[in-house]
Amino acid sequence: MTKKSGEKTVEERMIVGIDLGTSRSAISASNGKKKWVDSYVGWPKDFIARKVVGKPILFGREALEHRLSLDLYRPLKNGVIKEGTARDEEAVKELIHHLITLVQTKGEAEKVRAVVGVPAESFKVNKVAIKKAVADFAESLLVVSEPFAVAYGVNALDNAMVIDIGAGTVDFCIMHGTVPSEDDQRTVLTAGDYIDQQLFNFLEERYPHSDFNMNMIRRFKEEFSFIGEPERAIKVDIPVDGRPTKHDITEEMRRACESILPAIVESTLELIAKFDPEYQDIIRQNIILAGGGSQIRGLDEYLEGVLKEYGPAKVQVVDDPLYSGCDGALALAQDMPEDYWTEV
């Protein structure tokens, strides 16, 4: 087939890696640009709201700030596109479109090739939904599990395990020199959002007269999260009867962060134990933590300590938890043989 003039070849076309997350979504493009947004999409509630916000649709932080004027959606729940409501599907589509426009150079209206990373076990459910969501902007698509994308990006392709600790899910993936199968992967639903909920409950119990919301709770966590021994007492300002008041939240923070450990330890041990016995030692020494939750202070040491009871162990944290997923997806997209792509 001859190439029409103006038609771009595969190499010229923009390639993007997208990490579609419950709380944050990030994109990394072959033109070198990278962007991320909080995974919020909002439409003005009525014509007054439309006038106030001045736009037909808002994303990320901006949407959150105007939430009182908006029908606000966080369209991914536990890493899966929420089913049933057309608006959630629409929101995912708008979010993906928004991410692509953030990295596209002006005037460049071409469709892109996209690799989209999603949580390991929701993989099958999401594949169809994502295909629908990107159909208008991408001409070819590949959906991969998020921890696989991370593993690819940090070149941990053989005898390694990636643990991606996100907001909705913790995703595990063992790499052994091939594309991982379902058996090599696990998803656990107690992740960052669960910590927030726990912290909220603990603080509500201890300080029943103080005024806080989930947003503040998440901010506290992202600033002070830790497990094990605290470096110093954690004190935050929370209003009581309208007056900012210092609250000690050290113990509650520790308990909330530690609440996700049992499931993580169990899945890690289980995945290693059912792997080829001759390779278990090597995998245990090549564990990589990714995702926002990998920032919890003391988490890597704790896991390493637990694993050392079984033999030599080493746990590392990726350098850039925000972009490691989409960077990996982009790298994968650039290396992917033609026959792996799905036309959309």
Ligand X SMILES: Nc1ncnc2c1ncn2[C@@H]1O[C@H](COP(=O)(O)OP(=O)(O)OP(=O)(O)O)[C@@H](O)[C@H]1O
Query: Which lies closer to ligand X via its Cβ, residue 184 or residue 193?
Result: 193
Residues that bind Mg ion (CB under 5 A): 21, 166
- 177 CB-contact burial (10 Å; exposed 0-12 / middle 13-18 / buried 19+): exposed
Residue 17: name its binding partner from Mg ion, ligand X, none (Cβ under 5 to 8 Å by kind). none
Q: Is 218 in the site for ligand X (CB under 6 A)?
A: yes
Return the number of the residue (44 or 79) whose C-beta is nearest Mg ion.
79
Tell me the chain's radius of gyration from C-alpha atoms: 21
Beta bridge partners of residue 28, listed in sequence order: 17, 34
What is d(CA 328, CA 288) in angstroms, rounded to the nearest whole number?
14
User: What is the bridge-based pairing of β-strands 170-176 and 185-188?
Assistant: antiparallel
Nearest distance from residue 286's CB to ligand X, in Å? 20
Choosing from 296, 307, 318, 329, the residue that interacts with ligand X (CB under 6 A) is 296
- In the list 259, 280, 285, 295, the residue contacting ligand X (rule: CB under 6 A) is 295
Counting runs of H as helices and runs of E as strands, what totals does the chain give?
Answer: 12, 18
Which H or E run includes 145?
Answer: strand 138-145
Closest to ligand X by CB, 40 or 137: 40
186 makes contact, choosing from ligand X, Mg ion, none, with CB < 5 to 8 Å by partner type, with none
Residue 23 interacts with, from Mg ion, ligand X, none (CB under 5-8 Å by kind) = ligand X
Taking the C-alpha atoms of residue 307 and residue 312, their distance in angstroms, rounded to an integer, is 8
The amino acid at 28: S
Please list every residue from 93 through 132 that binds ligand X, using CB under 6 A: 119
Residues 157-196 vs ligand X: string with x where CB under 6 A?
---------xxxx---------------------xxx---
* Nearest distance in Å: CB 296, Mg ion: 15
Instruction: Identify the three-state secondary structure at position 33.
Output: coil
Sequence length of the chain is 344
Binding site for ligand X (CB under 6 A): 21-24, 76, 79, 119, 146, 166-169, 191-193, 218, 221-222, 225, 291-293, 295-296
